Structure 1
Amino acid sequence: MKRHLNTLFVTTEGSYLAKDGAAVQVRFEKKTLLRVPLHNLDGIVCFGRVGFSSQLAAACADAGVSISLMSPHGRFRAAVVGFSPGNVLLRRQQYRAADDSEVTARIARNCISGKIANCRSVLLRAARDANEEERSSRLKLAAKHLAPILRRVAKADDADTVRGYEGESASKYFAAFDDLTSVEGFQMKGRSRRPPLDPINALLSFLYAMLAHDARSACEACGLDAAVGFLHRDRPGRPGCALDLMEEFRPVLADRLAFSLINRKQVSTKGFDVTSSGAVRMDDKTRKTVLTAYQTRKQDTIEHPFLGEKTTMGLLVHLQARLLARHLRGDLDEYPAFIWK
């Protein structure tokens, strides 16, 4: 079983990462800020202008530690990964499955069924926690509206139909977001990306980027090609399989965490800046708060509903990647999506 490893987030621009024996050394203005053994890391995420040595890149590749390069505000730019240890036969089977419309529809259907079920759980939990009866009722109604879509997804026989239902469910789900928080300034005026146009969209986009990094690492770790998906079709530069895997975790690991940070007032609207183009960005302090909370959330324990084993939230996406690989090999009749309870 894979151990839960940490992710090193480097947010100070101008930092430089170097190999120091079997560890990574973080330097800034010729001072050593941190030294972390590579065997304790699953990945390194660099924000903005952060440099690293070729010796470190080689050591990370050998140790199976991915280096992800992000914009200062969390948009993925590139990754440094080593040779995948996966069986070439698994990837060949993945490519065949991606070209098979029936297999593609089946995997896409299960991914989105898991996502919609988890969206309903987020809304229903929020309804139970709501301190206003009217807000609780609206959240329950929103969850109720997702139920028939979930039933229709289960009967869909092609991936395009699944994508249509996913869009319909997302529209109803995001429409209920204002009832997930009562904090002024975090109201959502529709989902906006590239760029996000309000603080809640900026927060969600950042968390989704972190989740995408983890999903990409999970694919590579078990030998899957992160670029070849089923729900998300091939597009240059897009990690389709990683995006497929992260769908069922968006409500659980990203959305719920975002609203916990807001409702507990760990983040405020003062921590977001509006650029001249209208884009909303997190400041450095808020970004560090979110990263810390994300790492803490990944340490929480949970019982995997399919495997029946205790694990951490951070390992769930790795377990799902392995279950997908088992399905592609023919060991499992279906891909069992993660259903949060």
Structure 2
Amino acid sequence: MMSTRDFECKQIAFVFTSKGEKISFKNDNLLIQDEEGKVKHQSTCYRLFILFICGDYCITSGILDRASKFGFNIVLMSPNLRITKILPSKAEGNVLLRRRQYEFEGTALAAHVISNKIHNQNFLLKKKRNKTEDEKEAIKKLEQFEKDVLKDNLSVQEIMGIEGISAKLYFQTLFKAHNWTARRPRAKQDITNCLMDIGYTILFNVINALLEMYGFDVYVGILHTQFFHRKSLVCDLEEPFRPIIDAALIKAMNLGQVNEKDFWKNNEQFILPWKNSAKYVELFIRAIMEYKNEIFIYLQSYYRAFMRNKNANDFPIFEMEEEN
């Protein structure tokens, strides 16, 4: 399996075929050219981890052969960044791992993951200078929720209840200055939710690719219940890392880098046209790549702890850093 040193060199490439960009390969190097034929990106396939293709594209045996040979994932997306197909590079036949997944019981590990998420959410709130009394009160409440979710013998419903209350308080505090109403995935009721969906989607696919690499059944979660075509385990283990996207988004908004003119509204939904999407995709990929080693080590440690039947307290914790 991939080592930490190997993963340090891995890259994520994003191609917008709807903008006229083209993919080609030369001596096992990936080339991405713009519509004028200028090379936008060039890297060896050995360093490629995920190739996102946004827009219409014909998959050939050549690209599939290289994905198999070099172990990179392909994610096909529509021009509005909706996932249409994921072609993962995955480990086959890890029977022992999957047996343990199917036989796994208990909620302590789920609580551990959600407590980690709340901790990182609170980290972002604590970073703000000159906090109001309401913000200070929100921080205190999240600190308590972080502890409450770890109480013994909580049900999945109780854990999700604490997570939901924490998330509501966190979002309305973090985005208070930006006319926040509520978090509604895929509803795209405002620009913040629209961009959040994009960032979470990219993060989701990074987590998915790493879990597939170890041979997990990504449809079997520890918190999210099994549901047809939902990758519940990816949803679960994405949770502690979501604040990476939130941090990148709130920073961009505070710096005036999010332009309302980049969006258009249709049927009460905000849409980001493909011609304006590249800068926001780059924003989120850059944020994820800053933490890519920590994400890899977390999931590597999760796999090892799961295989060794460790207690919840022995599973990894991801903590955001002040300088990132």
TM range (shorter): 0.7 to 0.9
Distance 1:287 1:138, change over 3 A: farther
Superposed CA deviations along residues 141-186 of structure 1, whole A, max 9, x for unmatched, are: 211222222222010522222111111111111221333xx4xxx4
Instruction: Give the equivalent residue in structure 1 for 2:165.
Output: 168
Alignment partner, residue 65 of structure 1: 72
Alpha carbons of structure 1 residues 233 and 61: separation in structure 2 relative to 1, 3 Å? farther
| Matched residue type, 1:10 | V
In the alignment, does 2:57 pair up with 1:50? yes
Change (3 A) 1:288 1:151: same
Shift of 1:111: 0.8
Taking the TM superposition and a 5 Å limit, the aligned residue runs for 1:103-142 are 105-126=107-128, 128=129, 133=130, 136-142=132-138
Which of residues 286, 295, 300 is equivalent to 2:285?
295
Indicate yes or no: 2:294 matched with 1:316: yes
Quote the Cα distance in structure 2 between the aligned partners of 1:141 and 1:271.
35
Deviations 1:85-116 (A, max 9, x none): 5733222212221xx2x1xx111101100011
Q: 2:223 aligned with 1:218, yes or no?
A: no
Report the Cα distance in structure 2 between the residues aligned to 1:285 and 1:187, rounded to whole angstroms: 26
Give the conservation status (yes or no) of the 8 Å contact 2:53–2:74: yes
Matches of residues 1-341 of structure 1 in structure 2 within 5 Å? 1-2=3-4, 3-4=7-8, 5-13=10-18, 15-26=21-32, 31=37, 33=39, 34-84=41-91, 87-97=94-104, 100=105, 102=106, 105-126=107-128, 128=129, 133=130, 136-157=132-153, 158-179=155-176, 182=177, 186-251=178-243, 253-275=244-266, 277-284=267-274, 286-300=276-290, 313-330=291-308, 332-334=310-312, 335-341=315-321
Letter in structure 2 aligned against 1:161: E
Task: Give secondary structure in 1 for the equivalent of 2:223.
Answer: coil
Q: TM-score, normalised by structure 1?
A: 0.83
Aligned length: 311
Q: CA deviation at 1:17?
A: 3.3
* Equivalent pair of 1:219/1:318 in contact (CA under 8 Å): no
Preserved contact between residue 198 and residue 281 of structure 2 (Cα < 8 Å): no
Question: Using the alignment, how far apart are the partners of 2:86 and 2:25 within structure 1?
Answer: 18
Q: d(CA) in 1 for partners of 2:278 and 2:215? A: 31
Residue 43 of structure 1 and its aligned partner are, at CA, apart by 0.5
Q: After TM superposition, which residue ranges in structure 1, 4 or more long, deviate above 6 angstroms? A: none
Return 13-22 or 154-163, whichever deviates more. Answer: 13-22
Structure 1 gap segments, 5+ residues each: 301-312
Q: Give the counterpart letter for 1:12 in structure 2.
A: T
CA RMSD in angstroms comes to 2.3
SS at match of 1:176: helix
Unaligned runs of 5+ in 2: none
Read off the aligned partner of 1:17 and give its amino acid letter.
I
**Aligned equivalents of 1:232 and 1:20: distance in 2?**
43
**Identity over aligned residues, as a percent?**
24
